Amino acid sequence: MNHFTAVEAQIGYNQLAYVTLACMAQDGHFDGVTPLSLETMNKKKFNDMVIRTITHDFKAPFDGTKPFDAVFEVSSLKLKRTPSGVYMIARTKFSFDGDKAYGESVAAVRVHAYELKNPGSV
């Protein structure tokens, strides 16, 4: 049996985060940010997206080579201005194969001034 490892959990989280946040940005779920295309978000995932914190834990081993389910939940979204720029902050929870592997994270996606609906309001 090949066990699902912490590295695989991190890679799985990254993929879930990229796709989910891109779809949310495209659909206009980030207040104050103009809807961003999937193409734009695809470019951002390497240059403008950072995982600020992440924790994960394992309750039981499971075989990551066989089909399993994954759940990715965005628990909060907000815009935040920092000295280095404006960021969409997403607090998330995730789990794999029921809750055999699970965790929480905070991801930040840099937003450029031209992507803001009202740049002075943040």
Pair of tokens at residue 16: 């879930």
pLDDT tens digits along 71-112? 889 999 999 988 888 999 999 999 988 888 889 999 999 998
pLDDT tens digits along 25-44? 899 888 889 998 988 888 88
Sign of the four-CA dihedral 84, 91, 52, 27: negative
Look at residue 76 in the predicted model and tell me its pLDDT.
Answer: 93
Q: Of the given ranges (6-10, 19-23, 26-30, 73-77), which has the lowest mean pLDDT?
A: 6-10
Q: Which residues of 16-37 are buried (b: 16+ CB within 10 A; e: fewer)?
A: bbbebbbebbeeebbebbeebe
Q: Is the per-residue pLDDT at 2 higher than 70?
A: no
Instruction: Let me know if residue 44 belongs to a domain.
Output: yes
| Domains contained in the chain, number | 1
For residue 77, the SS3 value is strand
Instruction: Let me know if residue 82 belongs to a domain.
Output: yes
Instruction: Let me know if residue 1 belongs to a domain.
Output: no
Q: Is the per-residue pLDDT at 1 higher than 60?
A: no
What's the rounded Cα separation, in Å, for the pair 119 and 122?
6
Which CATH number characterizes residue 28's domain?
A: 3.10.129.30
Instruction: Let me know if residue 12 belongs to a domain.
Output: yes
Say how many CA atoms lie within 13 Å of 30 toward its Cβ. 31
